[in-house]
Structure 1
Amino acid sequence: MSSKTNVAQPRPFVATTLSNEWTSGICDCFQDPLHCLFATACFPCFACMTAREAGECLCLPLLDAFGCIPPMTTAIRVSIRQRYGIEGTIFNDVLHAFFCGPCSWCQISREMKNRKNPITITSTTA
Structure 2
Amino acid sequence: MTSQQPRPFVMSHHSSQWSSEICDCCQDVPECCFAFWCFPCFACSTARKHGECLCLPLLDGFGCIPPITMAMRVSVRNRYGIQGTICNDCAYSTFCGICVWCQMSREMNVRDNNITLVHTRGK
The TM-score range, normalised by the shorter chain, is: 0.7 to 0.9
User: For the pair shown, which has the larger CA radius of gyration, 1 or 2?
Assistant: 1
Q: For residues 104-115 of structure 1, what are the structure 2 equivalents within 5 Å?
A: 104-115=100-111
* TM-score normalised per structure 2: 0.84
Task: Provide the alpha-carbon RMSD of the alignment.
Answer: 1.9
1:37 equivalent among 25, 33, 36:
33
Q: For residues 1-126 of structure 1, what are the structure 2 equivalents within 5 Å?
A: 16-118=12-114, 120=116
Partner Cα separation in structure 1 for residue 67 and residue 76 of structure 2:
14
Partner Cα separation in structure 2 for residue 16 and residue 38 of structure 1:
28
Q: Residues 1-22 of structure 1, C-alpha deviation per residue, up to 9 Å, x if partnerless?
A: xxxxxxxxxxx99864201010
Kept in 1, the 8 Å contact 2:18–2:82? The answer is yes
Kept in 2, the 8 Å contact 1:15–1:120? The answer is yes
Gaps of 5+ in 2: 1-7
* TM-score normalised per structure 1: 0.82
Aligned length: 113
Partner Cα separation in structure 1 for residue 118 and residue 32 of structure 2:
33
Gaps of 5+ in 1: 1-11
